[in-house]
């Protein structure tokens, strides 16, 4: 069977079909888009409803606040991104974290004389709560960490170190290396370490232990005690809970 | 003494070791100075005997088993002297007077009391002032005589009192 070139009618038919497909495709895309838009609209209004409905819970209950934050994060919404966004208007959460940030700075400054600019997160939490007055809502560790993250915008003044199961917040510039954090971790249990305990527990060389401890003393983070036995022990005020109300 | 509000440092063992880091030591000495003055004020003591002080609870925290060495006590006392809160009583530096309130401040307190009792223009003996029944419960009751004299001298300089001495009996007239 010999092949004939396609006739004009066939080509026309084909073109027509293609155009029709195209039209259908656009139509489909349009409905999909509209549907998506509608879904987004609904999602936003639901989220708003949710936020409005649970506004008080979000402000008052640290646990709930954390869950809300996590939910927002998983869908790519950052309620803290702007203090002018509708979240701030809805909830005042933006303001909440900025306010908290200022209080954190204040507490850190007031206590730096005692602890050399390093404070345990639990201590910080208690002091921030105290400074907010008796009637304000409780603050969680998560709130503090979030606020401190926001403070980073202002420069590298604030650093959070994970030490064991807890955190230490450093409010003075100064590079703490991994070694120093490990020393703090060792000291966490009873507030102090000795050179030989570092050598024994961490398998460090004497030089390494000595250098780390000397650094901590030089930075004002550690105090030396010469009455604890045959060797010096090093104490960290930042690891000892401070229950006093005065900062001096 | 149960009701003295010990600062956190008192329960912090290295507080009893003079710190090698200069910045930390500055904070440490400041804390020691205010602790010593606050303590003396609480127990209403004006003088301090260095030998005795070594074993007093002020410099010796028995619970912690930490004490300030004699050398360290002198560093603290020297700092107090530098701040004008201490005067040595003897050359060997065995005893000192701690000035947790200046003579002028004492003078003011005494003068206010005299005024409130409308005792201006009367003469009192020094003993009456510091140990008399009337002044019981007042802050200056039991005040060290030397400090009392200085307080009155400072009032004299302001023209608010006149010091009198007749046959070894010391008295003061307030205006």
Q: b/e per residue, A6-40, with b = 16+ CB within 10 A?
A: eeeeeeeeeeeeeeeeeeeeeeeeeeeeeeeeeee
Q: Looking at the complex, report in whole angstroms how far the Cα of residue A237 sits from the nearest Cα belonging to chain B.
A: 8
Show the tokens assigned to A194. 């000795």
Structure token pair of residue B147: 């400090």
CB contacts of A227 in chain B (<8 Å) are: 13, 16-17, 65-67
Cα–Cα distance between B54 and B58 in angstroms, integer?
8
Residue of B nearest to A239 (CA): B12
Determine phi and psi for B160, rounding to 5 degrees.
-100, -10
Q: pLDDT digit string (tens) for A126-156?
A: 888 888 776 667 888 888 888 888 777 777 6
- Mean pLDDT in chain B? 84
The 3-state DSSP class for residue B130 equals helix
**pLDDT the model gives residue A248:** 36
pLDDT category at A246 given cuts 50, 70, 90 is very low
| Closest Cα in chain B, distance from residue A172 (Å) | 15
Nearest chain A residue to B34 by CA distance is A248
Strand partners, B108: none
Q: Of A81-95, A127-141, B1-15, B149-163, give the lowest mean pLDDT range.
A: A81-95
**CB of B76 closer than 8 Å to CB of B32:** yes
| Token reading at B18 | 């003079």
Contacts of B13 in chain A (CB under 8 A): 192, 225, 227-228, 233, 235
Between residues A52 and A109, the one the model is more confident about: A109
B19 touching A (Cβ < 8 Å): yes
The least confident of A50-59, B66-75, B141-150 is A50-59
**Mean pLDDT computed over A168-173:** 82
CB contact under 8 A, B17 and A218: no
β partners of residue A169: A119, A160
pLDDT at A88: 58
Cβ-based contacts of A226 with chain B (< 8 Å): 17
pLDDT tens digits for A182-214? Answer: 888 888 877 889 999 989 988 888 888 998 899
Given a cut of 80, is residue B71 above it in pLDDT? yes
Residues ≥6 apart with Cβ < 8 Å to A109: A171
Give yes or no for residue A181 having a pLDDT over 90.
Answer: no
Q: By the CB < 8 Å criterion, does B14 face chain A? A: yes
Chain B hits for A229, Cβ within 8 Å: none
Mean pLDDT, residues B118-129 taken together: 80
Mean pLDDT value across residues A7-34:
87
């Amino acid at each position: 069977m010999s092949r004939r070139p396609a006739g004009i009618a066939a080509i026309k038919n084909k073109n027509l079909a293609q155009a029709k497909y195209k039209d259908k495709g656009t139509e489909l895309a349009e409905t999909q888009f509209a549907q998506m838009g509608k879904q987004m609209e609904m999602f936003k209004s639901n989220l708003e409803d949710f936020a409005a409905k649970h506004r008080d819970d979000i402000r008052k209950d640290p646990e709930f606040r954390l869950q809300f934050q996590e939910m927002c994060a998983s869908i790519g919404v950052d309620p803290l991104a702007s203090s002018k966004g509708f979240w701030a208007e809805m909830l005042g959460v933006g303001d909440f974290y900025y306010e908290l940030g200022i209080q954190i700075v204040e507490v850190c400054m007031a206590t730096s004389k005692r602890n050399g600019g390093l404070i345990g997160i639990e201590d910080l939490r208690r002091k921030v709560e105290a400074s907010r007055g008796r009637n304000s809502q409780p603050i969680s560790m998560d709130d503090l960490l979030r606020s401190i993250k926001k403070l980073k915008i202002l420069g590298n003044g604030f650093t959070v170190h994970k030490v064991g199961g807890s955190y230490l917040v450093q409010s003075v510039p100064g590079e703490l290396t991994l070694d120093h954090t490990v020393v703090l971790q060792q000291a966490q249990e009873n507030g102090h370490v000795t050179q030989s305990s570092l050598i024994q527990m961490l398998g460090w060389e004497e030089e390494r232990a000595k250098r780390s401890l000397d650094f901590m003393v030089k930075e004002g983070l550690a105090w030396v005690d010469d009455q604890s036995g045959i060797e010096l022990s090093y104490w960290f005020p930042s690891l000892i809970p401070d229950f006093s109300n005065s900062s001096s | 003494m149960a009701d003295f509000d010990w600062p956190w440092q008192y329960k912090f063992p290295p507080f009893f070791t003079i710190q090698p880091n200069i910045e930390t030591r500055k904070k440490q000495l400041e804390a020691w100075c205010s602790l010593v003055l606050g303590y003396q004020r609480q127990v209403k003591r004006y003088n301090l005997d260095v030998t005795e002080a070594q074993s007093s609870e002020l410099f010796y925290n028995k619970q912690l088993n930490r004490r300030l060495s004699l050398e360290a006590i002198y560093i603290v006392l020297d700092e107090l002297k530098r701040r004008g809160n201490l005067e040595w009583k003897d050359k060997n530096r065995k005893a000192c007077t701690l000035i947790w309130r200046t003579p002028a401040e004492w003078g003011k307190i005494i003068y206010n009391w005299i005024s409130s009792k409308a005792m201006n223009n009367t003469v009192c003996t020094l003993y009456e002032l510091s140990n008399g029944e009337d002044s019981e419960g007042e802050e200056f009751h039991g005040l060290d005589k030397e400090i009392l004299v200085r307080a009155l001298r400072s009032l004299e300089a302001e023209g608010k009192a006149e010091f009198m001495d007749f046959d070894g009996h010391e008295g003061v007239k307030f205006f």
